[in-house]
Amino acid sequence: MQVTLAGYNLDTEIINRVGKIIDGYPYGTGDLNYLSDLVTCLADETLTPETLSAAYARISRSNKSIGELRSNARASVNRARRTNRRIVFGLGHASIAEHAVVNLDISDISRLAVEELEAHRLASYTEASQRYIAMEGDFIIPREVSDTGLKDRFQADCDELFNGYRELISSLERLFSDAPEQERNTKAREDARYVLPLACRSQVGVTVNARIAERMINNFNRSPLNEVRELGRGMLASVKRIIPSLIRYTQPNRSLEASYHEIEHISRTTISSETDQDEPSVRLMEAPESGENSALAAILFSTGVGSYSACLEAVGNMSVQDRKRLLITSHKCISAHEPLLREMELGYFTYSITLSSSAFAQLKRHRIASLIKQDYLPELGVTIPPNILKVNGEDIFNNCIEISNNLYKLLIERLEEERDQVAQYALTNAHRRRVLFQANARELTHFSRLREDSSAQWDIRAIAGEMIRLAREACPALMLFAAGKDTFDKLSEELFGE
């Protein structure tokens, strides 16, 4: 695991000052004066975004211009740090810490640990895609596994999974032999990867503000996985140097953890893990029965002067046709790249979904939704890509799943603490878990644009299709604008006319 501080935001006055020195020496760094000017310039400026946070912290109580406040904060970084500590942690005005933003390169991290990282909603991630990149037998061996003496077995079994992956790629490439090379490679990889383990190595670029960085480190420090705790230590080392005054509560609350374990015990001893084979993989658990009225009333509310109750009453008196017309009119010129009106957030849909790790990797990226996950459970079976059946790759696939399940079982038997979590490294992208997913109509429509689009991966596309079908059945008007980007023009022609 490697965590590298790749960047952070700085007051432009500092950037400009350095820029001027560089511009003043067109012949470059060989000039001794250049270096001394640069050192002099930087000596009185500690390069940190903390001065921006400290300056902004003072905006609410000072008559000075923001430029002046920034200049004062730059004049003494120590004082700026004291301000931050007092205001962010003393007064609890924590959003001040959001003005400091860092970029982190995170590499040599497993796909399982990436899930913990990306569970944090208020940050930006770009991750290596197993659809576009060929995997070369690259996986991590968790320390817990090595400590139990199972390193060689883990290594050998993961090597076997990668052999299966390569064999499946060859067969799938033949299936797409008529497609252009890049498309052929992508299609083969996107299905063959289902046999790869969650221990597979990845890399992620992360952009996150100091407030969330602190929360992440705190959460990582209480992870049952050594690798995730290592991520916490790596992040702390990277950010503490540059924003020390904004990172403070990095140690988890152990009492909270104990109470969590108590609940875990109750849940696991009272609710059976039995799986119902007939349970549909996507179930709509709650739909906003009055969601359509609420959203429409909110549109009348935001554009008018009446109370919300009066708006609800007005909507209640409208005919179905009139309500539909109001909804369509309010979105008439919308394009496939624009969000629906915020008023559409007033209706929530809750789903229970059983899905593969591959599909989960995509679902979890929708940050506005609420996503609650369980561990992967081999009892839930696996998702087998239809193209693998087409190329008679079932035996290779099943052999990989058997290797993975056996390794999982062995880890469960041999590991003592936190065995369930650590054993998940052995499971594959095809293994399944249950999640709860709650999203409002606006976010769900956005989800549909991306995930019902023809460019979306088949697994998540099928799930998205079913989610939207169920939502539409329950609340047709709220889901009026849900469609993949590629079919949006056709839909808008139908809805809005020429």
Ligand X SMILES: Cc1cc2nc3c(=O)[nH]c(=O)nc-3n(C[C@H](O)[C@H](O)[C@H](O)COP(=O)(O)OP(=O)(O)OC[C@H]3O[C@@H](n4cnc5c(N)ncnc54)[C@H](O)[C@@H]3O)c2cc1C
The residues binding ligand X (CB under 6 A) are 124-127, 129, 365-368, 443, 446, 450, 455-456
CB of 450 to ligand X, least distance (A): 4
Q: How far is CA 459 from CA 360, 362, 372, in A?
A: 10, 10, 19
Do the Cβ atoms of 362 and 457 come closer than 8 Å?
yes
CB of 131 to ligand X, least distance (A): 7
Residue 192 C-beta-side C-alpha neighbours within 13 Å: 29
Residue number, 404 or 448, with CB nearest to ligand X: 448
- Does residue 370 sit in helix, strand or coil? strand
The tokens describing 168, both together, are 């499946």
CB of 205 to ligand X, least distance (A): 8
Residue number, 157 or 443, with CB nearest to ligand X: 443
CB of 311 to ligand X, least distance (A): 26
Residue number, 49 or 378, with CB nearest to ligand X: 49
CB of 287 to ligand X, least distance (A): 20
Residue number, 17 or 365, with CB nearest to ligand X: 365
CB of 368 to ligand X, least distance (A): 4
Distance CA 64, CA 497 (A): 54
Residue number, 4 or 126, with CB nearest to ligand X: 126
CB of 125 to ligand X, least distance (A): 6
Residue number, 298 or 464, with CB nearest to ligand X: 464
- Exposure of 143 by Cβ count < 10 A (0-12 exposed, 13-18 middle, 19+ buried)? middle
DSSP string, 269-301: HHS-----TTS-SEEEEE--TTHHHHHHHHHHH
Do the Cβ atoms of 62 and 69 come closer than 8 Å?
yes
CB of 438 to ligand X, least distance (A): 12
229-241 core/surface letters (b: 16 or more CB in 10 A; e: else): bbbbebbbebbee
Q: Which of 429, 406, 410, 428 is nearest to 419 (CA)?
A: 410
Residue number, 433 or 442, with CB nearest to ligand X: 442
Residue 473 C-beta-side C-alpha neighbours within 13 Å: 10
CB of 344 to ligand X, least distance (A): 13
For the sheet with 370-376, list strands across it: 282-286, 348-356, 432-440, 370-376
Residue number, 21 or 94, with CB nearest to ligand X: 94
Do the Cβ atoms of 50 and 80 come closer than 8 Å?
yes
Residue number, 166 or 365, with CB nearest to ligand X: 365
CB of 122 to ligand X, least distance (A): 6
Residue 215 C-beta-side C-alpha neighbours within 13 Å: 17
The tokens describing 248, both together, are 């403070």
Structure-token match 């067969």, residue found: 171
Residue number, 45 or 98, with CB nearest to ligand X: 98
